[in-house]
């Protein structure tokens, strides 16, 4: 006969298992009810979608290449000094307008003047010696000719005649030597006169003083390198803009193309320019290759200054009367509609098969390249795809070269989700 304690223990364990199963089932049912209610609430409280639209337009499309650079004078001259010495006076200052030949500064000329006086005296002495040598030559020439006639008649000894001939030849050599001394003295005088003239620094051009690097009383030393005393710019009404064009864009930039640029000093003003030339020599900095382009700039009101940083837009192509679509429409893809089917709350939470999406690959390469793309319009309040062929773009709008599109047609560029009240 079984022990009463064993019977009671077995009964108690059975009751506990049944109570545990009831609690688990109740908990699962409660979770399902809460989940279904939450899903229903989420679906009921879902929002609607509004589409942001734009219109297809017709107009001119301007393609530009952007580059940055600095403004420089057409002709900039560094004025230096070839002599060493003390600066006596400085007669111009920064921003002064100067004329060609105008005195800019003067060096002390005391020693240079003394040298000129000394060499001029030496030159005069050399010329006097030359005249003396010429006179002597004439005298010995006459004596030589007279003795020559007597010697031929044997009225004069041959020895005396040879002595007269040697004296005559020495007189000829003395004249040649005196001429050489005159040339040397004249060269020395000319060199000293040139040095004296270089002590007066004059402007080589008509222009404006950009920099002054000298003061009165300063000593300049012209040894291995000429000291630069002034920097002059010629006619700032004509300037040049030097910009660096990226190697990807240099093939589109050509001489005579128009351009416009801005400077930080006048951010609300556009200045006109035109390409003069594009250099073939590359500029490489940190593995970035650029090519320098030179633009001509008219600066009649003198508001532009050398060294200003400018951002230029070079017009490389203009398409007249083009059909244009905003670039936002080319990037837009409408959201996929939710699947409307009856499922249980649990089924809607279970992971299903992954939806396949079509990725729109970005288009790289030449902006002039023709390519197939898709835009979206509204028909019966639903997005409808329209295939088009596009051409050039300026980064904001793109040319439509073909497709069932006309000016004024509304296209989708974005979607805005709003919550139901």
In a domain, 87, yes or no: no
Q: Worst-scoring range by mean pLDDT, 6-10, 53-57, 316-320, 388-392?
A: 6-10
pLDDT band at 243 (very low <50, low <70, confident <90, very high): very high
Average pLDDT over residues 108-128: 93
Does 302 share its domain with 330? no
Token pair belonging to 98: 């100067």
Average pLDDT over residues 46-70: 87
In a domain, 188, yes or no: yes
Q: What is the pLDDT of residue 156?
A: 64
Which of 198, 222, 250 is where one domain is finished? 198
List of residues 6+ apart from 297 with CB closer than 8 A: 71, 238, 239, 240, 241, 271, 272, 273, 304
pLDDT tens digits along 218-228: 999 877 678 89
Does 239 share its domain with 180? no
Q: What is the pLDDT of residue 139?
A: 82
Which of 198, 224, 256 is where one domain is finished? 198
Q: Worst-scoring range by mean pLDDT, 174-183, 244-253, 335-344, 346-355?
A: 346-355
Average pLDDT over residues 35-55: 54
CA end-to-end distance (rounded Å), the chain: 74
Does 311 share its domain with 327? no
pLDDT band at 22 (very low <50, low <70, confident <90, very high): low
In a domain, 96, yes or no: no
Strands (E), 327-420: 371-379, 382-393, 397-403, 410-418
In a domain, 224, yes or no: no
pLDDT tens digits along 135-162: 888 888 787 777 776 666 666 666 777 7
Number of other CB atoms surrounding residue 117 within 10 Å: 12
CA nearest 370: which of 397, 358, 388, 395? 388
Does 27 share its domain with 54? no
What's the structural domain count of the chain?
4
Residue 111 has pLDDT above 70, yes or no: yes
Q: What is the pLDDT of residue 360?
A: 39
CATH code of the domain in which 239 resides: 2.40.30.170
pLDDT band at 89 (very low <50, low <70, confident <90, very high): very high
Average pLDDT over residues 29-35: 39
Task: Please give the Cα distance from 238 to 224 (Å, whole number).
Answer: 34
Q: What is the pLDDT of residue 421?
A: 53
Does 311 share its domain with 269? yes
Number of other CB atoms surrounding residue 165 within 10 Å: 16
Task: Please give the Cα distance from 410 to 315 (Å, whole number).
Answer: 29
Considering the chain, what is the average pLDDT of its residues? 81
Range of the domain at 162: 109-198
Residue 44 has pLDDT above 70, yes or no: no
């Amino acid at each position: 006969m079984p022990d009463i304690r064993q019977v009671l223990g077995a009964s108690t364990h059975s009751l506990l298992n049944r109570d545990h199963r009831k609690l688990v089932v109740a908990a699962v049912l409660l979770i399902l009810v809460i989940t279904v209610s939450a899903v229903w609430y989420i679906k009921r409280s879902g929002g609607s979608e509004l589409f942001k639209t734009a219109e297809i337009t017709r107009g001119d499309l301007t393609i530009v290449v952007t580059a940055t650079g600095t403004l420089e004078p057409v002709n900039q001259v560094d004025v230096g000094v070839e002599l060493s010495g003390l600066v006596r006076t400085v007669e111009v200052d920064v921003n002064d307008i100067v004329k060609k030949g105008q005195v800019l500064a003067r060096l002390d000329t005391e020693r240079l003047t003394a040298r000129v006086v000394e060499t001029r005296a030496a030159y005069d002495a050399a010329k006097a010696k030359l005249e003396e040598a010429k006179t002597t030559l004439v005298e010995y020439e006459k004596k030589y000719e007279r003795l020559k006639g007597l010697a031929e008649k044997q009225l004069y000894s041959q020895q005396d005649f040879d002595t007269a001939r040697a004296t005559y030849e020495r007189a000829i050599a003395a004249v040649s030597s005196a001429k050489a001394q005159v040339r040397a003295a004249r060269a020395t005088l000319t060199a000293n006169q040139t040095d004296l003239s270089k002590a007066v620094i004059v402007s080589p051009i008509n222009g404006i003083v950009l920099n002054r690097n000298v003061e009165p009383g300063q000593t300049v030393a012209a040894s291995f390198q000429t000291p630069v005393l002034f920097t002059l710019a010629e006619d700032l009404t004509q300037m040049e803009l030097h910009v660096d064009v990226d190697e990807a864009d240099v093939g589109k930039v050509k001489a005579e193309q128009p351009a416009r640029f801005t400077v930080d000093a006048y951010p609300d003003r556009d200045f006109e320019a035109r390409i003069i030339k594009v250099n073939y020599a590359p500029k490489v900095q940190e593995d970035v290759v650029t090519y320098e382009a030179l633009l001509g700039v008219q600066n009649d009101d003198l508001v532009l200054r050398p060294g200003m940083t400018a951002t230029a837009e070079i017009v490389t192509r203009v398409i007249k009367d083009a059909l244009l679509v905003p670039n936002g429409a080319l990037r837009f893809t409408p959201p996929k509609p939710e699947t409307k089917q009856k499922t249980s709350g649990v089924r809607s939470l279970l992971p299903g098969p992954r939806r396949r999406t079509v990725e729109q690959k970005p288009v790289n390469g030449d902006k002039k390249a023709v390519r197939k793309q898709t835009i979206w319009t509204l028909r019966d309040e639903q997005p409808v795809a329209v295939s088009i062929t596009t051409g050039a773009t300026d980064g904001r709008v793109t040319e439509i070269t073909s497709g069932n599109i006309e000016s004024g047609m509304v296209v989708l560029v974005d979607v805005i989700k709003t919550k139901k009240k």
